[in-house]
Amino acid sequence: MKLDIEEIKKLIPHRDPFLFVDTCEVITPGEHGKSQKLFSKDEYFFKGHFPKNPIVPGVIIVEAMAQTAGIVVSYKLRDYKEKSVLFMSVNKAKFRKPIHPDEKVLFEVKFINSVRNVYKFEGTCYKEDIKVSEAEFSAMITYK
User: Mind telling me the catalytic residues?
Assistant: 49
CB atoms within 10 A of CB 6: 7
How buried is residue 73: exposed, middle or buried, by Cβ count under 10 Å (0-12/13-18/19+)? buried
* β-strand partners of 108: 34, 124
Count other Cβ atoms within 10 Å, centred on residue 38.
Answer: 12
Quote the CA–CA distance of 106 and 126 in Å, as a whole number. Answer: 5
10 Å Cβ neighbour count for 46? Answer: 18
Answer for the pair 119, 141: CB distance below 8 angstroms, yes or no.
yes
